[in-house]
Structure 1
Amino acid sequence: MIPRTVPGMLALRAAQEPERIAIVVAGEGELTFAQWERRSHAAAHGLLDRGVRPGDRIGLLFEGRDWIDFAVAYCAVQLAGAVAVPVPARLAPAEVQRLLGHCGACAVVHGRGLRVPDGGERWTAAPADLEGRETRPVDARVGPDDLAQILYTSGTTGTPKGVGATHANLTFGCETRPNRRRFRHSRYLLHAFPIGTNAGQTMLINALDAHPAMLTPPRFTPARFARLIAAYAAGTVFVVPAMAIEFLNSGMHERYDMSSVVLLGSAASALPPSVSARLAAAFPNATVINYYTSTEAAPAQTIMVYDPARPGALGRPAFGGALRVTGPDGEVLPPREVGEVWMRSPAAPRSYYRDEGANAEAFRDGWVRMGDLGYLDADGHLHLVDREGDVVKSGAFKVSTIQVEAALYEHPQVAEAAVLGVPHPVLGTVLAAVVVPRSAGVSGVELRAFLMDRVAAHELPERVLIVDALPRNQSGKVIKTVLRRLLETATTGNPEGT
């Protein structure tokens, strides 16, 4: 029988392969499945002794070096019948406090050396404080339909929203047969996703369900990532586009052996086509795969093996999910017509926690609004045009910022690029680009000239601002509200902004 709760998955894996390594944090330690189960039950006793009851929300505040303690605390919370609320440790204390207040967390379990904002009646503890001496297994108090976690969105387009997922949602598609587990080609699955992100939570479920041990550095740097690939002969590697770009620009793939990687997956946002091509060249033995989903839609996703003939495609629905593109009145559009992208999960759907208004907008009859505009090609592959809020209405034209960014990435001296709309007295809005160069000497004039042969006149940025780095959130997504402030305060003596 397939377990339909997260603690059930842990119990199964610990029974099947107790001494198998589940998680490796480079330079910090390892965790076997037997240790994971034993420590989680001990910590669950500590939670119950402190009065935690089914349905209580427990904040989890951990950094990358504490993935092992986080995994223990996550399962302990659910064994106690409570709801895990991972909160990114990189957030400002006031934002951490806001998220914990929104979900009504009664306690916070935290990593080493982290300061937890004062929450009045809320108590705090480290996993070691909870484990104590009690070793008897806890009789798990959860079922498939119970709320398992609340995960907050990155908030790139507004205030972060708490997305609730049941145990049935999180365990959908998990494999119980050892010879059928995912990524059997690998002994190690390497990633550097932050705790508290949807990508990070996916990796935690992979640690429970997949064949390889989950390997992660305490913190991402290109050099550390490359050394881990070579040292562990990692067969599966996951990145977000920002990491991929930084890694490629560092040249570390030329200094270390990348031949062990046979699957390189990218998640969180779409890879620019030129970056996909560079990844394919940097990892010659790897299949490069783009995954498209959202915190709200998971486990629904599209999967696309990089295809030079379809460089911008994001694939078709996987694992029984569904995909559609709709017009203004909700009608399903034919191929190549641009509209709103919706996905339907084959699992129990997620929902926003304590936000019925937002639920009505984003979740309808099992379908989830992705917040993106796109179209399907004749073969049913999804192509993104832009985020709904990022499309620029310039005069009589609607402009895709994604397409202009992709054109900028074709320039050999562009390390990173972001495009957005800025006010214009005549056209209402025009494009501006913010670029991080690979080396000094790249000018806005040069970049605009480069784009003239690649984009239409109405897609050409009026300004190009050269900066040292792009502001990104914990998921690696560019924060365009910060870019607008940079453009507002930058020197405006010429149209290039340089």
Structure 2
Amino acid sequence: MLPVADLGLLPEGVAEHHGGTTVCADTPWASACRTPNTVSDFAVVVADYADRLWGAGVRPGAVVALVKANHFDIQAIQCALVRIGALPALLSVKMEPADLLHCLKELDRPCLLTDADGAAVLRPWQDQLGEIVSRVLTLTPEAVLPGAVELSESAPHQVTRHLGTDPMLITHSSGTTGKPKLLVHTVDSLYAHVAPQIGVVKSLDYAGISAKCLSFVHVRMSSGLLTLLNTGVPFLGISSPDLAPVRAALLRYRPESLEAQPNMFLRWEALARETPNPFSAVERYISSFDAMHPRTLRTLLEASERPNPTFIQAYGQTETGPVTLLMTTRADVREPGRLDSRDVGAAFPGMEIRVVDDAGAEVAADASGYIEVRTPARAESMIGRPPLPGRDAWWPMRDVGRLRPDGHLELYDRQVDQVPGVPSTLRAEDILLDELPELGEVVVIAVAGAVTAVAVTADGKPIDDDRWQRARSRAELPEDTGVDYRPWEDFPLTGTMKVRRHRLVTPGTPG
């Protein structure tokens, strides 16, 4: 029987059953012993990383912070660390340096494993590293930091098997509303992430490649890897969300399934108008971070040349894993009224949702309030924080929404991002994007008590005022709502490309 949720053992076990299944990345594996193209190759790379980590003195119980360029090799290194009994802490190289240093300090002198990109981010603080980390290991010789040792010498490693309650992985929240939180996942909690995903995949008729362009340090990718290995779905990891590499990867591999973060899909709308069409072979799109803008749903579903393409959305957090599931078809987005919905679907079996008021009392059916969930997939603990309540306790998602009579959840706002006088900033943004196709992004915030839409346009030019006012009125924004036009590069983003709204408070300046 395969070890369903043990990241250290699963690659080797799966290689014995369907080792020829495609597992690859769109860019080179800079530090791997070979370029994997199959599950068998991936298992060999995991074992080689394990030998080199063992040769460098990494032993069971060690906490190893991984800070490197975004690439699918992060998942192989993670598996290798778990395999030898170490505890990987996956940190985004896109994190703001102050937040990255904060996370390293929270880990209490971990071993740091990095590459050239990670070293470049940390180099301005290299004099502090000796006090923050126990040692520095590098994956490539270009990663120059004081006292760094390249991961090159090999020694046969010893395999560690994990029990269900053993910590297996540390990941971090996105930091959308503040400093990222470090979350510890056990075998059991990660399995609870994976179980519903395995069920969904097995219910679908997968044949072609499943491509994912994600932050590969996110727990979503770890659970995604477990799902792919357990179901035997061919896989492609796309490293960069930029238009050129995404276009090249999609045209080369023609994936049947494509998963990305919502703001990636938003930016990829431009690709849907190209010839040749990069999305022509996509039968299902997948996103599991935030609700998707309906314009993006419609654009990508219309771009597919498959007869019945589907957009699969899940709502959840790093702390909880996916909680709800919604499948949207091309026919759905053509229905009148569908474009105004913030529907994120119904709860997975075994997971519960409720909506409460300020006092924590459940609100009347169909009323809005604060979303809480109860799920066996909730993280075990947070580094540097008090013990978390048991998994039978209700968990606050810090989001505002309503639970409809049909069991579907509608998402309105993050609690901290609510704007006085605006029922739902997210719904308002949906309408603005649909009414004004030239908008590349728009974020509604409160600045000094006034409602402001921070916007970027495709051509960099402001929108005609009459058209803006008509769209603003339909979005139910106040008449005096201001517009602050900025280039896309000035939007402060997390590693998962969420906009850090609290950093957009000063009009006309970067966050």
The TM-score, its normalising length taken from structure 1, stands at: 0.85
1:410-431 CA distance string (max 9 Å, x none): 21222211100112xxxxx231
Conservation of the 8 A alpha-carbon contact between 1:22 and 1:208? no
Q: Counterpart of 2:351?
A: 321
- Which of residues 161, 174, 177 is equivalent to 1:154? 174
Q: CA deviation at 1:102?
A: 0.8
1:289 partnered with 2:316 = no
| Match in the other structure for 1:249 | 270
435, 456, 459: which one pairs with 1:436? 456
Q: Note if 1:330 corresponds to 2:363.
A: no
The alignment partner of 2:505 has SS state of helix
**1:448·1:461 contact (CA, 8 Å) conserved in 2?**
no
Shift in CA distance, 80/455, structure 1 to aligned 2, threshold 3 Å:
same
Pair 1:100-2:92 in alignment: no
Which piece of structure 1 moves more, 256-265 or 37-46?
Answer: 37-46
Residues 239-278 of structure 1: pairs in structure 2 closer than 5 A: 239-278=260-299
Instruction: Give the direction of change, closer, same or farther, for the CA distance of 1:367–1:349 in structure 2 (3 Å limit).
Output: farther
- Which residue number corresponds to residue 248 of structure 2? 227
Q: TM-score, length-normalised on structure 2?
A: 0.83
Query: 1:369 and 2:386 equivalent?
Result: no
Q: Which amino acid aligns with 1:445?
A: D
Q: 3-state SS of the aligned residue for 2:366?
A: coil
2:184 to 164, 186, 199: 164
Is 2:15 aligned against 1:14? yes
d(CA) in 1 for partners of 2:138, 2:228: 22
Counterpart in the other structure of 1:408: 432
Aligned equivalents of 1:290, 1:253: Cα separation in 2: 25
CA 1:304–1:484: 2 relative to 1, 3 Å: same
State how far apart, in whole Å, the 2-side matches of 1:176 and 1:272 are. 23
- SS of equivalent residue, structure 1 residue 356: coil
Instruction: Provide, for residues 25-64 of structure 1, a one-character-per-residue CA deviation record: whole Å limited to 9, x for no partner.
Output: 3455434333333343343344345443433211112213
Note the C-alpha offset of 1:87.
0.9
Contact (CA 8 Å) 2:365, 2:405: kept in 1 or not? yes
* CA distance in 1: counterparts of 2:68 and 2:290, whole angstroms: 24
SS of alignment partner, residue 36 of structure 2: strand
Percent identity of paired positions between Structure 1 and Structure 2 = 21
- Structure 1, unaligned runs of 5 or more: 424-428, 491-498
Q: How many residues align?
A: 475
Mapped contact 2:320–2:377 kept (Cα < 8 A): no
Q: What residue ranges of structure 2 are gaps of 5+ in the alignment? A: 30-34, 141-149
Q: What is residue 44 of structure 1 aligned with on the other side?
A: 50
1:219 alignment partner, SS class: coil
Secondary structure of 1:100's aligned partner = helix
Q: Which residue does the alignment assign to 2:137?
A: 125
Q: Pick from 63, 72, 82: which aligns with 1:67?
A: 72
Quote the offset at 1:2 in angstroms: 4.9
Tell me by how many angstroms 1:440 deviates.
4.9
Q: 8 Å contact 1:182–1:210 — kept in the other structure? A: no
CA contact (8 A) 2:314 2:344 kept: yes
Matched with 1:426 is none
Distance 1:406 1:20, change over 3 A: closer
Aligned to 1:482: 503
Q: Alignment RMSD, CA only?
A: 3.1
Q: Tell me the residue number matched to 1:345.
A: 375
3-state secondary structure, aligned to 2:43: helix
CA drift at 1:250: 4.4
Equivalent residue, structure 1, for 2:61: 55
Aligned to 1:419: 444
Call closer, same or farther: CA 1:164–1:127 in 2, change over 3 Å: same
Query: Residues of 2 paired with 1:266 and 1:177: CA distance?
Result: 16
Deviations 1:280-339 (A, max 9, x none): 212242211222111011143433435335443110012432222122232223332001
How far apart, CA to CA, are the structure 1 residues paired with 2:397 and 2:433?
Answer: 25
2:8 aligned counterpart, secondary structure: helix
2:214 to 193, 203, 219: 193
Please, which moves more after superposition, 224-233 or 105-114? 105-114
CA distance in 1, matches of 2:466, 2:196: 52
**Residues 310 and 327 in structure 2, CA contact (< 8 A), matched pair in contact too:** no
